[in-house]
Structure 1
């Protein structure tokens, strides 16, 4: 084995689609190329040891915003203990602002952008000469018909235990400045017949979970309908062995034909990720985002009411030109529509994205370390930005987890953002933590907060019990509620006596 391709995935369930594309397009070098994936959090020494066990001459590493710091350590150690190995980097994190990055300085070569043609060519030069003189090699974009599809490289273990990432197209025609896809100018589809044949092969091998990474699945409705029909046919033919599909869609482009297809999916088989990001038209203009808010809201409401699709809707805090009050209005508007999940994200400065052009005008301050999260703007100072970060974390734990489905409406009541921000501030004051809060403790804290705000202790305990039916009984909260109720009565009596 001559070439080892590797990366540190965010978790085991994630299988690297990009590296499989490289292997599929290695040509004569494919037989000499292997794949070895790791997960972030692994010890650097163990990663390096396992890489070296393959005795490669070339190591290609996929670098992303979530793994760049750990991958930098891997590259540094590789070059220290085995300097003869040639390290080649690729991936979105090293495709822009490349020369200023420590990881690029440590590596031998970097391929920026599309790698299917450039990486094999670079490997041939490294192995057989002439030796490449330049460190940075701009990826050559092949015609879509020349790119060999990688799906046969998902092995049986991948199919059985991991998300299978697929794409019917690359690129995006929209220009949202916080997104790397804003640099694409357009979208390029793969041959749909060939793509569907690959899905057919995966399904025949047992694949049932397909996550599409297309930035805009519903851009071409005819293609979208054909792909959805593929899954509907499988659901009809194998009702006891259903497939699950995940698509990312733009919310204001949902024609009747697509709605009719979506309605046919039974519960538990379709998830739609929908990017709203902001409901503020002025902010949308600043970040070059085109969105019909009324149509978007109406479509999300329709999906909630008329389909079985699980909806994951995104909002971003910290965008240039948006203050907390504006974000809160958008958040409350989305809560009123009631999607299954609201992903509360904090703006990040992905390398190469045009959002950086607003730095001076809106006083954008980003963390210099990955994932380059916004720290403050002219509208939101550092302290309040940290409150939003904690809000997002607690929202995942309480709302998006689905574990407080009956209690959440009481928490949110008539002022969702304000109420949950108050809960987030209170939780942080009580725990000084946003991670490693045991579920029972979190439930007890939520109950305590509700009672302190005037909710009836018995009703709170009943809500929490109903949320955890079949999981973990919280009936032990009832005596506590009774004691607290008694304590409150005693305090009132003491006040009356003092008067």
Structure 2
């Protein structure tokens, strides 16, 4: 964030992102609001599953007086290790933890070695802590509770994305904070008030990022299409751009008026991804968790997104909600598949600290993993063995369906509209056959699909269907197991010739330009 010599760095802001392509918006907010202390601070970002001792080595190389770590469900265990090492090696270094995994008690990971826990939005409270500590005054209370900030009064973080970030990482941005809904499984429901930046201020920030070359934006607003005038202004900003870009929004499924639809229809393929939170389509289950559902509106809007836009739609569905049977989940999945060709993300219920899900524990026999990610182990309707089956189902669903690698083959798998039942049977068979849910190559998945579907379909159809799927992407090679089917060699040759012809056309067009 600056060019200071390491000896001048008093404050380190750090976290472990879940992927290298991710960047931390929260750290940049903290840095942006450090006022006169900015020149003595630095942001360091790491990735989960890195060597924690190496991370500590890099942090302590700056000899900081204060280390502030953003803590989340995906990095909580690593953070606890890092805190332990920092306090062993440099006991006088003050360690303050913040973020969603810290802001709610009880802590389910042992963070006791940390000096301070920063609850809530930290833009002001972290600055005050750093100012006090560097001034020789250490707060007595270990827990520092912050009030929600005035969103339009704090300094914005976007200038502190580096050129490297803009070139290599997703740029996270937000135009609003809060969520008006009260879904019990979600931390966003804790902050029910909506706070917006003035739209001209926000668009000016986007414009600066755009002019620096940013083309991949992930909006973290929980309800992007709640305030239609705001959503329209943002979409209109990007629609006039000639260059390629990628936008990700989280949207509520029942609020797509005509004026918003007209804008969404104008985005070209590959430029827009919409994350649609469904979670359940069972009205009784939704009522149980304080989630409002307008089923008819949801159906209409999913059909609109599927048939009239080129947006990539990502739909969330949860396994293990209180009072939801496996039969109810099955109906949800079958219906969603019939409504949308988009990605259906099957998530396993997690009990996050700060939510009110625990009120269901005794009534519904909810048993959760005590360690991150706090996923459900069983309840009175889905016992442990079946829940394990469903976790494998979710993993295989990602590999086969959500990956987009087997679009045509999946349709063979989902015959008669029985999406859940057929995929559940396949998932059980696949786990027994592969004895794994990870590190299964594309060729191996294709071979397993061929083997499994051979009982219902003839050889020629399977060879051609799987070949069409696998070879859709330029650069892939014919799976080795298919090469033994010599009688279809002409199909292999046709694919190679088609690719060669396509390359020749592209090369010719390029030469003519």
TM range (shorter): over 0.9
Give 1:101 shift.
4.3
Partner of 1:78: 86
User: Does the 8 A contact of 1:318 with 1:346 survive in 2?
Assistant: yes
Q: Is 2:388 the counterpart of 1:378?
A: no
Partner of 1:474: 479
Give 1:131 shift.
1.7
Give 1:162 shift.
0.2
Partner of 1:283: 285
Give 1:323 shift.
0.8
Structure 2 unmatched ranges of 5 or more = 1-8, 488-513
User: Does the 8 A contact of 1:458 with 1:478 survive in 2?
Assistant: no
In the aligned structure 1, how far is the partner of 2:480 from the partner of 2:123?
Answer: 58
Give 1:128 shift.
0.8
Most deviating of 126-135 and 218-227: 126-135
- Counterpart selection for 1:242 from 234, 241, 244: 244
Change beyond 3 A, Cα 1:331–1:106 = same
Scaled by the length of structure 1, the TM-score of the pair is 0.93
SS of residue matched to 2:16: strand
Aligned pairs (5 A) from 1:302-317: 302-317=304-319
- Counterpart selection for 1:184 from 170, 191, 195: 191
Change beyond 3 A, Cα 1:418–1:311 = same
The CA deviation string for residues 183-223 of structure 1, in whole angstroms up to 9 with x for no partner, is: 11221111211110000000000001111000000010000
RMSD over aligned Cα, in angstroms?
A: 1.4
- Counterpart selection for 2:237 from 230, 237, 248: 230
User: Does the 8 A contact of 1:275 with 1:313 survive in 2?
Assistant: yes
Q: Is 2:209 the counterpart of 1:206?
A: no
Partner of 1:195: 202
Partner of 1:25: 33
The CA deviation string for residues 444-463 of structure 1, in whole angstroms up to 9 with x for no partner, is: 011100003x2112211111
Give 1:472 shift.
2.4
Aligned pairs (5 A) from 1:351-362: 351-362=353-364
Give 1:228 shift.
0.5
In the aligned structure 2, how far is the partner of 1:100 from the partner of 1:389?
Answer: 22
SS of residue matched to 1:73: helix
Give 1:479 shift.
3.2
Q: Is 2:23 the counterpart of 1:15?
A: yes
- Counterpart selection for 1:255 from 243, 254, 257: 257
Give 1:384 shift.
0.4
Q: Is 2:441 the counterpart of 1:433?
A: no
Structure 1 unmatched ranges of 5 or more = 483-499
Partner of 1:488: none
Q: How many residues were matched structurally?
A: 476
Partner of 1:451: 454
Change beyond 3 A, Cα 1:481–1:122 = farther
User: Does the 8 A contact of 2:108 with 2:370 survive in 1?
Assistant: no
User: Does the 8 A contact of 2:274 with 2:313 survive in 1?
Assistant: yes
Scaled by the length of structure 2, the TM-score of the pair is 0.91
User: Does the 8 A contact of 2:270 with 2:311 survive in 1?
Assistant: yes
SS of residue matched to 1:106: coil
Give 1:98 shift.
4.6
The CA deviation string for residues 138-179 of structure 1, in whole angstroms up to 9 with x for no partner, is: 023221221111000001000000000000001100000000
Give 1:464 shift.
0.9
User: Does the 8 A contact of 2:286 with 2:292 survive in 1?
Assistant: yes
Give 1:339 shift.
2.9
Give 1:475 shift.
6.5
Give 1:478 shift.
5.8
- Counterpart selection for 2:174 from 167, 173, 194: 167
User: Does the 8 A contact of 1:465 with 1:475 survive in 2?
Assistant: no
In the aligned structure 2, how far is the partner of 1:143 from the partner of 1:407?
Answer: 52
